[in-house]
Each structure stands twice: as C-alpha cells, then as structure tokens.
Amino acid sequence: MSTAQAEKTGSPLALETENEVRIYAHTSLIYWWPVWAVGYLLAMLTWAQGEPTKFADFEVLIHPSKNLGVIYTMTFFLVILMTNVSLRGYASATFVAVLVSLTFAFAWFGWWGDIFHAFNNLAIFMNFGFYLFFSTAVFLVWAANTFIFDRLDYWKFRPGQVVHVRVFGGGEETFDTHGMSVQKLQDDIFRHWVLGLGSGDMLIAITGAKKEEVVVPNVMFIESKLRKIQRLVAMKPDQTQNTTVLGDPS
C-alpha cells in the first residue's frame, strides 16, 4: 500500500508518518556556516575583480581591496568567539547593556574616529585559491557533520512515547511520556539567535523508574518543534486519529 493510500484509509503507516517528531542534537559546527558562506562570496568577488599577482614563478589572483581579507578574518574570529562563549538569561542582557554603554561612551569621548581610522589602515590580503579551498574544506566538514554524523543519534516523539535512537552501538531506548516535561532552556544570544537564527537547547525531564534529565543541544527550529512535541507528549497512544503533526527533519 502506498503512503498516499495509507493516509486516506488512516492505516498505521499513515499515523506513524504524521504523528512523529524527530529531534537531532547538533554540535557547535552547525553554527560555522558564515565561514564557508562568506568565503565563497569573497572567492566570487576575487574571481570577478581580482588582479593577477606574481610570486616567484607562479601567478595568483588577489582582489585589490584590502577590506576583503579583513572581513573574512573578522568573520572567522567572531564565529570562534560566539561558538565558545555562552551568554544566557541575565548574562546576555548584561552583555547587551554593556555593549550599548560602551557605544555611547566611545561616541562621547570621540574614540570611534580613531578606531575606524585604525581599521582603515589594516590590510590583509588573501588570494582566490585560499578563499575557495578553505571555504570548501569547512563546508564539507560542516555538511558531513550536520547531515550525516549528527543524525546517528536522535529522539523520536510519538503519542505517549519517546524513543532514543542510536544508529551505531546503542540500539533504541523507549520512555513513557507520563509525567515527562519538555522545555527550551534559556537562549544563548550568540549561538541561538545570531548564528542559529532561532535554534535552542531542549531539556527532556524523564520520570518513572529511571528518572533523568537529558539536554539535547542546538536543536534547529526549536519553537515550532516544541509546540508539536508538547502536544504529542500529552496524548495517549490511541489518540492518533484526526491529528496532523509533521516532524521537521532538521
């Protein structure tokens, strides 16, 4: 029976497809997309506007502007900083307040002109080959980690049931959702909003004979998934008729 036919008849195949949400934990590499995205953009600019420059017996393509290298270096540095410094709740509010205060203080003392002048004198040059090779290397690692390795360990939420699946070595572990709570932890201003565009860490509090709390880090599109999960957790296994809860594969 095809999936389309199963959906019309309300068969178990259709119900399992419609009433399941999968949650994948991601490493901090998920937030490294600006490194390869900006690198490819600068590679295209260098290819289109670059000038051939001779070094010993070979020639490389370098963009005449000194700003491209500065932009890429700062992008790389900020991604490293944001993925390794965590600011949640009051810490993130304090950071924003301090940043705004420093902005006004620098303007009051007239320091912004000196800072911009110093950056204007900063020159970093990278050739087309560097942008292309390094961005491709980062992209391949990012893609393999995001779409292959991170998907080898995940959680499946169904009506009244949660299954922890480990593709290699661990098999499946099933939990009853009775008394279980699922919530989003406080947002990290850097990872979850600046780089993650609305990602978040999910806390699963398991009750019953084996009580434990599990943190699933860096869940993409967490708000929409959390709403679906909370509905599934509150349901019983036989309450699967007339529901349409689709799991996002991310």
Calculate the average pLDDT of the chain: 79
48 with 239: CB under 8 angstroms?
no
Residues 207, 119: Cα–Cα separation, whole Å: 55
Mean pLDDT of 59-77: 88
pLDDT of 176-233, one tens digit each? 878 788 888 867 777 888 888 888 899 988 876 677 888 999 999 888 888 888 888 7
Which CATH number describes the domain made up of 3-25+154-240? Answer: 2.30.29
The pLDDT of residue 16 is 42
Residue among 160, 166, 222 nearest 192 (CA): 222
Residues 70, 53: Cα–Cα separation, whole Å: 19
The side-by-side arrangement of strands in the sheet containing 153-158 is 171-176, 161-166, 153-158, 19-24, 245-246
CA trace torsion 230, 233, 238, 243 (10° rounding):
20
Within 10 A of 210 (CB to CB), how many other CB atoms are there?
A: 8
pLDDT of 138-149, one tens digit each? 999 999 999 999
Domain ranges of the chain: 3-25+154-240, 30-147
Residue 131 tokens, joined: 């942008």
The pLDDT of residue 249 is 43
Per DSSP, 185 falls in state P
Mean pLDDT of 59-72: 88
Residue type for 223, please?
E
pTM of the complete model: 0.75
pLDDT of 6-30, one tens digit each? 444 444 444 444 688 899 999 999 9
Q: For a pLDDT cut of 70, what percent of the chain falls above it?
A: 76
pLDDT of 86-98, one tens digit each? 766 666 667 666 6
Pairing of strands 200-206, 161-166: unpaired
Higher pLDDT: 102 or 46? It is: 46
Within 10 A of 29 (CB to CB), how many other CB atoms are there?
A: 19
Q: Phi and psi at residue 168, in whole multiples of 5°?
A: -115, 120
The pLDDT of residue 145 is 94
Residues 241, 236: Cα–Cα separation, whole Å: 11
